[in-house]
Structure formats: C-alpha cells, structure tokens
Amino acid sequence: MIKKDGRTRANATAFRQWRSWLRGVDSVANPHSNQNVQWWGNIAQVLASSLVTSAKASLEEGDVPLFVQYFGQPASQDRLQKVEGNYEKVGAYLTRTITYHALGSNVCGESAKLGIFSIPNNIWLGGCFFAAPLMGIDSKAGIVLHEASHLAAGTKDYSDKNEADAESLANTDPKKAIKNANNYEYFAERSGFVQTVPSAIP
Ligand SMILES: [Zn+2]
C-alpha cells in the first residue's frame, strides 16, 4: 500500500522501528562520556583501516586457505574480486569523519539501518566494544570494520555470534558468507593478526 507521501506500509513500519530504536538509545544511561566514545571510535577507525589493508594484502597474495575459511568455496577469481571490492568500499568509508555514539547496552556496535532508513557516518558502540582489545580477534578495530561494512558495502548479519559461527557459515553457505559482516571482520582480523605477530619468536 502506497500512502500519499509515497511511503509504503512496510517503510512506515521500518520508520517507526527506527524512531523507537533511536529513542531507546537516547533514554538509556550513557556509561561513557560522549567525548570518550568519539576518542575510542577514532582510534578504532584508524586501526580498522589498517585491518582493511591487511585483508586486501591477504587477498592479493592469494591466501586461499584463509579465504576458504571465512568466505567458503570456491576461491574463484570473481569471488575474490567481489570480497576485495567490498573491502575497498569499507576502506574508503573509513576515511570519512564518523560520529560515534554510546549505546547503553552490552552489544558491540550498531549502525542504524532499518529498511530504507539509514544514518550514514554514524556508529553506535556498546559495552562489548569498550571491553574489547584494540586489535586481535573480536577487537575494537574489528567492531568498527564490521559496522562500516554495513554502511559501506551493505553487508548483513546472517551470523553475528562469534568466529566459529562465521566459519560455519563460510562452510555451509558461502553465498551468505561473502555478504556477512562478521566474516569480513574475522578475515581482516586474522589477516592483521598474522602480520602483526613476529614469525621469528624463538
Ligand atoms: Zn552487524
């Protein structure tokens, strides 16, 4: 059903959900000052850019086992290029000025994108983000990369539990894996992880 102003019923519902979600965000106690949220967000954003660089390097070097682990089979040229194209979009997005907001719950992060309504250049960070390490697996950098992948490349949350869950999605449903935000996060974190751990530890 199309209303006079062109909004469909589904869109109107999404708009109501989006408004009430935002009200919920505003009404919860903010455990971090807004200044700290922006500060941590900015740091994580710089590190997220370095993760994107690592991920692209892994793809360009043709790290097939890592690709298959997070994006499934086949490791064909077109699938590699699709994934690399998405990392490029994310990398470009991460050069923008992003406003970070505190989310008074324990989720890692949110980017408001319900139905057709999206708020570009804004990311909400929750308790999980503040407890996360800066780099490594399930890191602050990875969380910002995850959220930016929704905003920049339209990734989804088909599986958003943990790394094992993302690997299982790659194994069982590779088509969804190359559209899933967590798979981009973990592939990048693993790429970055390998490159930041010295290989010559005695
Ligand atoms: Zn997500």
Query: Taking the CA of residue 136 as centre, how many other CA atoms within 13 Å lie in the half-sphere pointing to its CB?
Result: 5
**What is the Å distance from ligand 1's center to 146 Cα?**
6
**What is the Å distance from ligand 1's center to 161 Cα?**
10
Q: Do residues 120 and 174 touch, judged by C-beta distance below 8 A?
A: no
**What is the Å distance from ligand 1's center to 5 Cα?**
31
Average pLDDT, integer, range 139-165: 95
| pLDDT of res. 12 | 60
- Catalytic residue at 84? no
145, 147, 148, 152: CA torsion to nearest 10: 130
| pLDDT of res. 103 | 80
| pLDDT of res. 5 | 43
| β-strand partners of 101 | 124
